[in-house]
Amino acid sequence: MLIRADAILEAPGKIHRPGQLRIRADIIQEVGSDLKPFVGEEILDFPGLTLTPGWINLHAHLELASLHGVLTPGKDFPIWLKQILGCLPGLTPEVRRESIFRSTQNALRNGTTSILSITSDIQAMAGLTSTASRVWWALEFMDLQNPPEVSPVLERAMAWLSRNPANAWHLALSPHAPYTASPQLYREIAGLSLRHKLPFTTHLAESPEETAMLGGKKSSFQDVLPKEFHRNDFQNSQSAVDWSNRNQVLPSGAILAHLNEFQPSDLPYLKEREATVVHCPTCHEWFGRKPFSFDLLKENKIPVCLGTDSPASSGNLSLDLRAEARLFREWHPHVSAHEAWEMITTTPAHALGSGLQLGTLKSGSWADWVGWRLPEPREDPIPQILESHDLAEVTCVAGKVVHHEQI
Ligand SMILES: [Zn+2]
């Protein structure tokens, strides 16, 4: 199939004008400016559109969209946690599936084609036969009470995935956070992620209360966690990263959601583990966190991506990564539009182990692209697209047009 548009942004600084993409099944075969149709080849024309790689949201909870506007923002994280725990009984598989459907549609219309989504209830996925976007289902585990059966759950999820081969679905693994998952559970999940080559992600260093708890100090977590709860590893750690290092819980390539709290002494371990950090600006604002130490991570060459987190803890119901990029650049004005673009394309693609398939529109990449109608096309469309509030006009995932705004 040959797709023709006004322009195709293969990667920042590499634009084909006019642009054509040749795809076979879900893979881009060729990209260029003078590709001619083969005899009998199907042609899709998108006059006036600029095609770009679809964006990647590296931290979301697709199943929680129904909690948008339900919880009260505030600085105290355990109080928020207490609120969400109270909402869990109402999150039936049907409610979660409806949230997943709505969230993936919203994300697509705003240019995101891939989402790493934390999934705390595998039953929510039963009966789900498709999503509009590509999803990495990160199976979440905790062992506050009984140890979970990680391997059997993973095997069931792998079998479920193989029964849905038409979907652009993948798996990942996620111990929830240091205060709900023990070092043993972390290490078990880290081992499985290495064995099955699955992305590993976890919530780490999200709040000062977490740092206090891991250091053995009093924190309001004590009011939320079960009364009989006791962990020997909650002592002496200077930070959540220090706790991770002491307990050797992170596999190489771990994707760390938040990292709002860390110290310069944590940087060597993060580097050694080749960790990627996911910063969620609208969630950061929602909780009123202290400024995110982006420059320190950047100076130490620790990759940082952008995510939305869930609408239960941010105002970003539409999972629009442009809103995250705008807020992020407001706080870090020296960050260029191209740098922000990399944080939602090539950097998260690499973190997912899909650097060759995602984040660019090169020959050999997955055919995940987005068509934008720009009022006044300029040589470099990236700043314009990131500033725009308009919906994407066309979105394609795995070679299939999954959303088209115009009829
Ligand atoms: Zn989260």
310 CA from centroid of ligand 1 (Å) = 6
Residue at token pair 């910063």: 279
DSSP-assigned beta bridge partners for residue 112: 55
322 CA from centroid of ligand 1 (Å) = 18
Residue 264 to residue 74: CA distance in whole angstroms: 27
26 CA from centroid of ligand 1 (Å) = 30
Neighbours of ion ligand 1 (CB under 5 A): 309
CB 360 within 8 A of CB 346: yes
370 CA from centroid of ligand 1 (Å) = 26
308 CA from centroid of ligand 1 (Å) = 9
Residue at token pair 């442009």: 322
Rg of the chain, C-alpha, whole Å: 21
369 CA from centroid of ligand 1 (Å) = 26
Report which residue type is found at 51. Answer: L
32 CA from centroid of ligand 1 (Å) = 39
246 CA from centroid of ligand 1 (Å) = 24
How many Cα atoms occupy the beta-carbon half-sphere of 329 within 13 Å? 17
Token reading at 231: 């962990």
Give average pLDDT by consecutive 10-residue segment, the chain, 407 residues: 97 96 96 97 96 98 88 81 85 91 95 96 83 95 92 95 88 96 98 98 96 92 82 94 98 98 97 98 94 97 97 89 98 97 98 96 97 90 96 96 83
Going by C-alpha positions, the residue among 323, 315, 254, 310 that lies closest to residue 118 is 310
374 CA from centroid of ligand 1 (Å) = 33
Burial class (CB in 10 A: 0-12, 13-18, 19+), 86: exposed
How do beta strands 2-11 and 19-24 pair? antiparallel
Query: Considering Cα of 95, then 101, then 106, then 107, what sign does the dihedral take?
Result: positive
CB 204 within 8 A of CB 259: yes
388 CA from centroid of ligand 1 (Å) = 26
285 CA from centroid of ligand 1 (Å) = 14
204 CA from centroid of ligand 1 (Å) = 10
- pLDDT for 360: 98
159 CA from centroid of ligand 1 (Å) = 26
Q: Which domains does the chain have, with CATH numbers?
A: 2-53+359-404 (2.30.40.10), 55-351 (3.20.20.140)
Residue 31 to residue 21: CA distance in whole angstroms: 5
17 CA from centroid of ligand 1 (Å) = 39
- pLDDT for 370: 98
DSSP readout, 284-298?
A: HHHTTPPPP-HHHHH
43 CA from centroid of ligand 1 (Å) = 41
DSSP readout, 172-193?
A: EEEE--TTTS-HHHHHHHHHHH
